[in-house]
Amino acid sequence: MRIQKYLRMCGMASRRKAEELVKDGRVTINGKKVLDFVQVNEGDVVKVDGKVISLRKKLYYMFNKPVGYITTRSDPQGRKTIFDLLNVEDDIFPVGRLDKDTSGLLLLTNDGEVAQVLLHPRYEIDRIYVANVKGALLNKTVEKMRKGVKLPFGYTSRMEVEVLKKSGEMSVVRITIRQGKKREIRRAFKFVGHPIISLKRVAFGPIFLDKNLKVGAYRKLNSDEIRALERLKKENETLLRVSP
């Protein structure tokens, strides 16, 4: 495989950063400095800044995030983070974020290419949430949200909104979006007069939250789930190669 892909799969860097490492002369193969995007063959010894690097086993976890935790490894303000609950390999990272007040499915991995496919807007990967919102959501409001709501900072992404249950005081809705802009769902529902009471992510791409996974618990993805992610990556590999 090409050296920049090898660096990414070793967890060293993004595609752009990998290219910078090569151009800066920080990479060697079998003791020779690499200044071009050459192939790495089986048995080659690759070093970055004099340190040997090698391909890692790919890891994939599902975590049922509770409310009240932020999605970072540490926090200078001393807030609780998901890593206070996770006792797993140090080199995994969350695929995107869920804000402190949002619960549900969070994927963690060391596979940068899978993370890129799941997160980049060009791949249009579904994220599905279930929310409790104040008030009875009217059909005309649902249609408005499906087309995108104009907020002070611009239009929200188009949302697929399905009302699962409603009463005078509260509605339960399923929301599907294809981008993960910060607090976008909360802002949109507040703007149309139905503030969110609770928000939970139940699916991300082909992965659905395990109903038997308790809040605050985590597990490795099973073989079927991993194959689903691999299929997703393969379906988008042409775009992945040219992604900035």
* Residues taking part in catalysis: 99
Specify whether the CB–CB gap between 204 and 125 falls below 8 A. Answer: yes
Q: Does an H or E element contain 189, and which?
A: helix 184-191
Other CB atoms within a 10 A radius of the CB of residue 68 amount to 10
Contacts of 41 (CB under 8 A, 6+ apart): none
Beta bridge partners of 200: 103, 130
Q: How far apart are CA 194 and CA 191, in angstroms?
A: 7
Burial (0-12, 13-18, 19+ Cβ within 10 Å), 84: middle
Q: How far apart are CA 201 and CA 207, in angstroms?
A: 11
Q: How far apart are CA 237 and CA 93, in angstroms?
A: 21
Q: Does an H or E element contain 155, and which?
A: strand 154-155
